[in-house]
Amino acid sequence: MSLKLVGTVALVTGASSGIGHATARALAEQGARVVAVARRKDRLDALVNDIQQSGGEALAIASDITDRASAEAAVRQAVDHFGRLDILVNNAGVMIIGPVVENEVRDWEQMIALNQQALLYMTKAALPHLEAAAESDVRGVADIVNISSYAGRVASPNFAVYNMTKFGVNGFTEALRQELGGGHIRVGVLEPGAVRTELNDNHSGVIRDDIEAFFASIEALEAEDIADGVAYMVTRPRRAAIGELWMMPTEQTYKV
């Protein structure tokens, strides 16, 4: 079987756990050189080691991408190291849910800072390099995949600000898709339903109990399922762009 991403470089944010970790591995399995970005360096180093043991190439960059200068530096470091950037997966995200009247404003600020602002910083910094990759003869196309959520399609109580951040990601993605398609940069959004990861570890009390009961009531997705989806999106022929991929657990009919 021929690997479809040989010669490319893919940067994945939030690669220290969950969906980002699985995505970094999946893209490396297709031959991409992978840049793994998150704050927990020990986790990133272990991932890089895993990829190298399997014969791939990877680089760990410890960065808090809610800081604009750090996000820009991460992209610069990736390109300095591997010489190009073909694929950006904006995956890092945080979810802190609860009723609006009870939520802490600082939790909203954290969600907006990571789910939206950091995604913008990474995208803006990556664009010149993606444009160059799209013009190169490796694939003649470049990719941005934004990890949104089922909560970017459907709003529900307790999710208001998380909904706001993910609805925003969906709108930004489609606008950018239309702006960049002519230059052969594909921009798509992937919207997972419930995936078993560390995302829900921020909660306590009733919300945590509800989330745990919900996950116990269905066969949730695994991070590898979403990684498969990302790999599918970025390995289409140059002419084919997946603008939106909505991936749900078969049994999920409602939110927590």
Ligand X SMILES: NC(=O)c1ccc[n+]([C@@H]2O[C@H](COP(=O)([O-])OP(=O)(O)OC[C@H]3O[C@@H](n4cnc5c(N)ncnc54)[C@H](OP(=O)(O)O)[C@@H]3O)[C@@H](O)[C@H]2O)c1
Q: What is the CA radius of gyration of the chain?
A: 17
Nearer to ligand X, 134 or 211 (CB): 211
The phi-psi region of residue 115 (left if phi > 0; otherwise alpha if psi is between -120 and 50; otherwise beta) is: alpha
> 61 is written with which tokens?
């960059």
Which among 121, 162, 232, 254 is annotated as catalytic? 162
Shortest Cβ 8–ligand X spacing (Å): 22
Among 78, 144, 147, 256, binds ligand X (CB under 6 A): 147
Helix (H, G, I), strand (E, B) or coil at 172: helix
User: What's the sign of the alpha-carbon dihedral 212, 216, 221, 223?
Assistant: positive
Residues in the chain: 256
Nearer to ligand X, 66 or 123 (CB): 66
DSSP state of 14: S
Does the active-site annotation cover 162? yes
Nearer to ligand X, 95 or 127 (CB): 95
Among 8, 30, 66, 163, binds ligand X (CB under 6 A): 66
Scan residues 182-221 and list those touching ligand X (CB under 6 A).
Answer: 192, 194-195, 197-199
Shortest Cβ 2–ligand X spacing (Å): 29
Shortest Cβ 239–ligand X spacing (Å): 28
Binding of ligand X by 56 (CB under 6 A): no
Binding mask 3-42 for ligand X (x = CB under 6 A): ----------xxxxxxxx-----------------xxx--
Nearer to ligand X, 30 or 116 (CB): 116
Scan residues 148-167 and list those touching ligand X (CB under 6 A).
Answer: 149
Q: Strand pairing partners for 144? A: 88, 187
Binding of ligand X by 64 (CB under 6 A): yes
Name the helix (H) or strand (E) containing 37.
strand 33-38
The phi-psi region of residue 18 (left if phi > 0; otherwise alpha if psi is between -120 and 50; otherwise beta) is: left
Q: Which residues bind ligand X (CB under 6 A)?
A: 13-20, 38-40, 43, 64-66, 91-95, 114, 147, 149, 192, 194-195, 197-199, 223
Q: Which residues are catalytic, by number? A: 162
